[in-house]
């Protein structure tokens, strides 16, 4: 069982390294976030034993339970799910990163609630890059204003942008929304921000995301198998 996790972990890392090379990205410029939502603590521990340190969770209570159970492993936890305003305190207290900040009010609450004893909370702004009505995320038209305001909050570190494009299987079509997100990041940096993170790419489109500049891919299924 543990060796299955080690094997899948190595396979995903090889996909990342091969794709970096193929698209002339510097070696190790793409980090792997293991998305462990719905997976038991035993599966996380097995992947941690293989060498994985960063884990992403979508559901707060589930995440807190697993964090308590795995405290001794000193893992780095990233919150990547939808955020309700009444859950921000616990998120600010327990996570190193939040990828799914989709309105200024959430950034302001996380800033106010980040404990003084912890380093600033790393955040990404989630962009609804395909403008899907049912999806979370900021519209591109709101980004400059929200990013400038979030960057000024002292207990947060605005690191970059995150997106979950509508799923398509064709490689060239997968690249298009990722390219738009990269252009948005470049535009914000030209306006004076210093964003170093593009949180894009999942099990089925990580190659397209890396081709377009992903610095962190969020991978669940390819590491843990299909979700129930």
Footprint on this chain of ligand PLP (rule: CB under 6 A) = 35, 37, 58, 80, 164, 202-204, 218-222
**CB-nearer residue toward ligand PLP: 88 or 199:** 199
**Rounded to whole angstroms, how far apart are CA atoms 52 and 75?**
9
The least CB distance from residue 100 to ligand PLP, in Å, is 7
Tokens of 88: 């921000």
**CB-nearer residue toward ligand PLP: 147 or 209:** 209
The least CB distance from residue 28 to ligand PLP, in Å, is 20
The least CB distance from residue 116 to ligand PLP, in Å, is 29
**CB-nearer residue toward ligand PLP: 125 or 222:** 222
CA contacts within 13 A on the Cβ side of 19 = 23
CA contacts within 13 A on the Cβ side of 78 = 24
User: Are the C-beta atoms of 197 and 124 separated by less than 8 Å?
Assistant: yes
The least CB distance from residue 38 to ligand PLP, in Å, is 9
The least CB distance from residue 95 to ligand PLP, in Å, is 14
**CB-nearer residue toward ligand PLP: 73 or 202:** 202
| Closest residue by beta carbon to ligand PLP | 220
- Please name the residue ranges forming H helices in the chain: 2-22, 41-50, 60-69, 88-94, 104-113, 143-151, 171-190, 206-211, 221-224
**CB-nearer residue toward ligand PLP: 16 or 35:** 35
Tokens of 3: 């060796």
User: Are the C-beta atoms of 153 and 107 separated by less than 8 Å?
Assistant: yes
The least CB distance from residue 219 to ligand PLP, in Å, is 5
**CB-nearer residue toward ligand PLP: 32 or 92:** 32
| CA distances in angstroms from 138 to 54, 149, 152, 205, 228, listed in the order given | 25, 14, 18, 21, 30
């Amino acid at each position: 069982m543990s060796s299955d996790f080690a094997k899948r972990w190595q396979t995903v890392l090889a996909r990342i390294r091969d794709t970096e090379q193929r698209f002339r990205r510097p070696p190790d410029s793409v980090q792997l976030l293991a998305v462990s939502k719905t997976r038991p603590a035993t599966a996380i521990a097995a992947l941690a034993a293989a060498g994985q340190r960063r884990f992403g969770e979508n559901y707060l209570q589930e995440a807190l339970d697993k964090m308590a159970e795995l405290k001794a492993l000193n893992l780095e936890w990233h919150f990547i799910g939808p955020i309700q305003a009444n859950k921000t305190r616990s998120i600010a207290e327990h996570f190193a990163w939040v990828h799914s900040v989709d309105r200024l009010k959430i950034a302001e609450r996380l800033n106010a609630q980040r404990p003084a004893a912890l380093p600033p909370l790393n955040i990404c702004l989630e962009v609804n890059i395909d403008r899907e009505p049912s999806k979370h995320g900021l519209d591109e038209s709101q980004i400059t204003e929200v990013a400038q305001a979030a960057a000024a909050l002292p207990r947060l570190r605005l690191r970059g942008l995150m997106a979950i494009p509508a799923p398509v299987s064709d490689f060239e079509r997968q690249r298009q929304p990722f390219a738009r997100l990269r252009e948005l990041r470049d535009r914000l940096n030209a306006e004076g921000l210093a964003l170093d993170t593009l949180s894009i790419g999942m099990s089925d489109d990580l190659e397209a995301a890396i081709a377009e500049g992903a610095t962190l891919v969020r991978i669940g299924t390819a590491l843990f198998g299909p979700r129930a």
